[in-house]
Amino acid sequence: MERLISQARKGDPDAFTALMESQMQNMYKAARSVLCNDEDIADAISDTILVCWEKFSQLKEDRYFRTWMTRILLNKCTDILRKRKQMVWMDEIPETPDVDAGFENSEWKEALNSLSENFRLVVILYYIEGFKTSEISQILNIPEGTVRSRLARGREQLAGLFQVKVVN
């Protein structure tokens, strides 16, 4: 990926295309965590690719490419939500590792959907996308302490949901 970023920075359209194709699944997962309409997701991804191409020179350090790209994507998702003026709940999350065979993916989806958007987004970026708290802070433009707090509260809420289900 570093080679592709370096070549894309020099204006190589083929390298940029390959770079964006390598990030397509990550972009889809992140957009899907905010938007539920496939057309909106496609629009957000297309807009993100265009902005990344136009503003590639603004990327300060190559190692932050994924963080930078994800922030642009989430801003595009937010723009779409504002235009639609609707509250969107994620109806399908990306596949997650099977932590415990006793839990079904539908239970995880339902549990994540029960979280507020702020908690859900932080939990997904951390656990599903694998971003560090410092990267999530940059993506969402919030203090790192807020990220850690939302992550902890999201975990507490999820643990509470599954504890209730286990007891019943």
- Domain extent, residue 151, equals 96-168
Please report the pLDDT score of residue 146 as a whole number: 92
Please report the pLDDT score of residue 93 as a whole number: 46
Contact 34, 77 (CB under 8 A): yes
Angle CA(74)–CA(78)–CA(82) in degrees, nearest 5? Answer: 170
Burial class (CB in 10 A: 0-12, 13-18, 19+), 116: exposed
Count Cβ atoms below 10 Å from residue 150 Cβ, excluding itself.
Answer: 23
pLDDT of 14 above 90: yes
The predicted-structure confidence for 29-65, as pLDDT tens digits, reads as follows: 888 878 878 899 999 999 999 999 999 989 888 888 9
Please report the pLDDT score of residue 164 as a whole number: 53
* 69 and 120 co-located in one domain: no
Q: Estimate to the nearest angstrom the gap between the alpha carbon of 31 and the chain centroid.
A: 6
Query: How many distinct structural domains can be found in the chain?
Result: 2
Q: Rounded mean pLDDT of the chain? A: 80
Please report the pLDDT score of residue 21 as a whole number: 94
Please report the pLDDT score of residue 106 as a whole number: 66
Residue 31: give its domain's CATH number: 1.10.1740.10
Please report the pLDDT score of residue 69 as a whole number: 93
The predicted-structure confidence for 91-115, as pLDDT tens digits, reads as follows: 444 444 444 443 446 677 777 777 8
Report the candidate in 82, 79, 88 with the shortest Cα–Cα distance to residue 33: 88
Domain boundary among 42, 72, 88: 88
* 84 and 2 co-located in one domain: yes
Q: Which residue would you say has higher pLDDT here, 67 or 89?
A: 67
Please report the pLDDT score of residue 105 as a whole number: 61
Angle CA(149)–CA(116)–CA(73) in degrees, nearest 5? Answer: 85
Domain boundary among 46, 67, 88: 88
* 12 and 66 co-located in one domain: yes
* 110 and 160 co-located in one domain: yes
Instruction: Average the pLDDT over 144-168 and give the result.
Output: 78
